[in-house]
Amino acid sequence: MRTQLAAAEALRNDLGSRRPLTEGEVERMRQEFAVEYTYDSNAIEGSTLTLRETALILEGVTIGEKPLKEHLEAVGHRDAYEFVESIAAHLPLEPITIRLIKDIHFLVLADRPKDRGAFRNAEVRILGTSHTPPSPYLVQERVEELLAAWPLDRHHPLDRAARFHLQFESIHPFIDGNGRTGRLLLNLMLLQSGYLPINIKYADRRRYYDCFQAWDDHQDSEPMTALVTEYAARRLHDWLAAIDR
């Protein structure tokens, strides 16, 4: 794992030393990523929108045969991602707080106004796993403990982000929107560490779920770290290839 982490870090450093892309090139790649990221992240959570339908909705087009809920999910995720980008651009770096987590969730859950930006007040189960998230009265405490411990984690930034993601999803602090919010927080951490944001593909969802199972069963974070590192390296390769072209 150390070799993969070191390789990703070398790519990050290489990108930082290269001739930058033009503003137009950066914006085009950013928009393409935002659409694909919104599609895949929502698809993992059950959205039936295609990539093309997602792109059209984000351009303001209504897809008649698709429910309003999925339109709102697409727009909400896009808005939440743009918010994360703006937070990542702040200097000095803005700490991750409960207020920030709730603000991201508020944007994500555009289709459920009564549940937006609020920790759950009900017990939840994560279907298909043996893991039981903490009771509602413990959620605030568990998130506070996670946020207090995270700055003290001296692991590699990619490993730290992966470990945070696993622990956040284990808490499952919201009644809905935990996966999308968690992946946005993961990307905020990557951006603040000088990496590009990643898009875990819908096609990779089984491997993604297996990472959580490894954590639930054995507190093993390496599968998630490997997945995050591979995606991070892939995105850096894409940007370096674009610069070379």
Alpha helix ranges (H) inside the chain: 2-17, 23-44, 51-58, 68-88, 98-108, 136-149, 157-171, 178-192, 205-218, 222-244
Given 71, 105, 165, 172, which residue is catalytic? Answer: 172
- Residue 190, judged by CB atoms within 10 A of its CB (0-12, 13-18, 19+), counts as buried
**Closest by CA position to 116, among listed 171, 40, 68, 175:** 175
**Closest by CA position to 229, among listed 157, 146, 176, 173:** 157
User: Phi-psi bin for 214: left (phi > 0), alpha (psi -120 to 50), beta?
Assistant: alpha
Active site residue 90: no
What is the DSSP track for 132-164? -PPPHHHHHHHHHHHHHHGGG--S-HHHHHHHH
Catalytic residue set = 172
